[in-house]
Amino acid sequence: MTAAVMLPHMAQALAVYQSVDRDGLGSAQPATQGGSSDFGAMLSQALDGAISTGEQAESQSMQAIAGGGDITSVVTAVSRAQLALQTTVAIRDRVLQAYQDIIKMPI
């Protein structure tokens, strides 16, 4: 199972963020450290990295099952994929918690 299948909420959150009319939110620009990237691009890049890490672990595992490949590289790739997935889930949980906290704020 790939990370893309396991992370539908992150993909949906990214799609919602990208569809927001930024002109309607005022003239405030996202704070960046000398770069022109925004939060959506950063989130998309991180999600793509997590997905590629999972796909790499999957291909390494398939090679090992077929009789090729090194067991050390398989274990390393799977560990990296597990860490990427855990990090992505932790970020998703924090984003959802922040969203719930904002919803609970009195107007």
For residue 88, being part of any structural domain is answered with yes
- Residue in the structure block whose two tokens are 């291909």: 59
For residue 61, being part of any structural domain is answered with yes
Question: For the chain, how many structural domains are there in total?
Answer: 1
Q: 104 is in which domain, residue-wise? A: 38-107
d(CA 22, CA 28) in angstroms, rounded, equals 9
Could you read off the pLDDT of 42-97 as tens digits, one per residue? 888 888 999 999 999 999 999 999 988 788 989 999 999 999 999 999 999 999 99
The arithmetic mean of pLDDT across residues 22-34, rounded, is 44
For residue 19, being part of any structural domain is answered with no
For residue 24, being part of any structural domain is answered with no
For residue 9, being part of any structural domain is answered with no
Nearest CA to 3 out of 57, 71, 64 is that of 57
pLDDT of residue 2: 46
For residue 3, being part of any structural domain is answered with no
Give the other-Cβ count within 10 Å of 10's Cβ.
22
Give, in order, the Cα–Cα distances in Å from 78 to each of 8, 14, 69, 86, 90: 20, 25, 13, 12, 18
For residue 82, being part of any structural domain is answered with yes
For residue 32, being part of any structural domain is answered with no
Give, in order, the Cα–Cα distances in Å from 12 to each of 9, 103, 106: 5, 18, 26
